[in-house]
């Protein structure tokens, strides 16, 4: 079948769309690019050209200051623990709940599902939440950032909807061969749900990686602070150092904005490196999981 040639007006429209999207992309990307440049230049260079296109002189003083801080490495250790343990814990609870609500038939199933959905829109409040965590003896414990965030209702519904797209005949065949529910879940359902599983795992990993609120509320020991709070300590110490005076061994004060931007990229880099490997699962996992209710 021969493709119809585009008219002049269609070509003109395509050019306009490309220009608008290209301009929009530059508007979105430039703040990240500018932040990277700020982290790589001195304060004098930044004062002269705050909106630079390329750095005249590159320095890694801001990154060296961030990496020399003991808070950074303790924060990485805590955050990695929260990500690994927290994602495994949340995925186990979320997947098993999604499978039960998608396949099992039991009295009051609709009521249970509706009660779970209500938690997406209403919460008990901060004071009851604090009292609950305190009653569980999780104050000043790393698990205060893991246990309370066990199940995300939205992710559970996505996985449940994805499970419902898998033909029930496969489950019935497995039961005829003697498989129980656990074997069906781990040997049939999960291998067929790789796209949505990879998507939810990355979303949960990002949630855990950016964890700071529960840590701010419940963690008193600075050695148990996650990466977000640890880098906040680095920035605060930098500001106090500059305000309090420059040490004799240091010829010039640290560039506070440069330290801030370097901290941002130190936090972003691990997630940015993981994202491309699971990006191909995003569209398929989210669309299929959201189509069927």
Looking at the chain, the whole-number percentage of residues with pLDDT higher than 70 is: 88
Query: In terms of domains, do 79 and 41 share one?
Result: no
Domain span including residue 24 = 14-59
pLDDT in tens, 154-168: 899 989 988 888 888
Between 30 and 20, where is the model more confident?
A: 20
Sequence-distant (≥ 6) Cβ neighbours of residue 119 within 8 angstroms: 153
- pLDDT tens, 243-293? 655 544 445 667 888 888 888 888 888 888 877 776 666 665 555 545 444
CATH of the domain at 268: 1.10.3720.10
Taking only the tens place, the pLDDT of each residue in 194-215 is 888 888 888 899 899 988 899 9
Whether residue 18 is contained in a domain is answered as: yes
Q: Is the pLDDT of residue 142 over 90?
A: yes
pLDDT of residue 281: 65
Q: Taking the model in full, what pTM does it have?
A: 0.80
Residues 154 and 50 in one domain: no
pLDDT for the residue numbered 249: 47
Q: How many domains does the chain have?
A: 2
**Residue 4 resides in a domain:** no
Note whether 279 and 267 are same-domain residues: yes
């Amino acid at each position: 079948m021969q493709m119809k040639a585009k008219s002049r007006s269609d070509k003109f429209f395509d050019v306009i769309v490309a220009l608008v999207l290209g301009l929009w992309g530059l508007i979105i990307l430039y703040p990240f690019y500018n932040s990277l440049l700020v982290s790589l230049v001195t304060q004098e260079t930044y004062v002269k050209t705050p909106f630079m296109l390329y750095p005249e002189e590159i320095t890694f003083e801001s990154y060296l200051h961030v990496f020399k801080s003991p808070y950074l490495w303790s924060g990485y250790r805590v955050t990695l623990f929260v990500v690994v343990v927290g994602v495994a814990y949340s995925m186990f609870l979320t997947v098993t709940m999604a499978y039960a609500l998608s396949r099992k038939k039991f009295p009051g199933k609709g009521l249970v599902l509706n009660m779970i959905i209500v938690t997406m829109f209403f919460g008990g409040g901060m004071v009851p939440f604090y009292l609950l965590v305190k009653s569980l003896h999780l104050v000043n414990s790393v698990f205060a950032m893991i246990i309370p965030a066990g199940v995300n209702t939205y992710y559970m519904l996505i996985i449940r909807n994805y499970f419902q797209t898998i033909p029930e005949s496969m489950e019935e065949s497995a039961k005829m061969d003697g498989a129980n529910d656990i074997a069906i879940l781990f040997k049939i359902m999960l291998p067929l749900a790789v796209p949505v599983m990879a998507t939810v795992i990355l979303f949960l990993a990002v949630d855990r990686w950016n964890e700071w609120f529960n840590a701010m509320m419940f963690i008193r020991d600075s050695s148990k602070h996650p990466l977000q709070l640890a880098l906040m300590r680095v920035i605060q110490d930098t500001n106090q150092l500059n305000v309090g005076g420059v040490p004799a061994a240091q010829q010039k004060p640290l560039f506070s904005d440069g330290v801030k931007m370097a901290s941002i990229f130190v936090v972003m880099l691990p997630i940015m490196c993981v994202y491309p490997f699971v990006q191909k699962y995003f569209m398929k996992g989210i669309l299929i999981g959201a189509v069927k209710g």
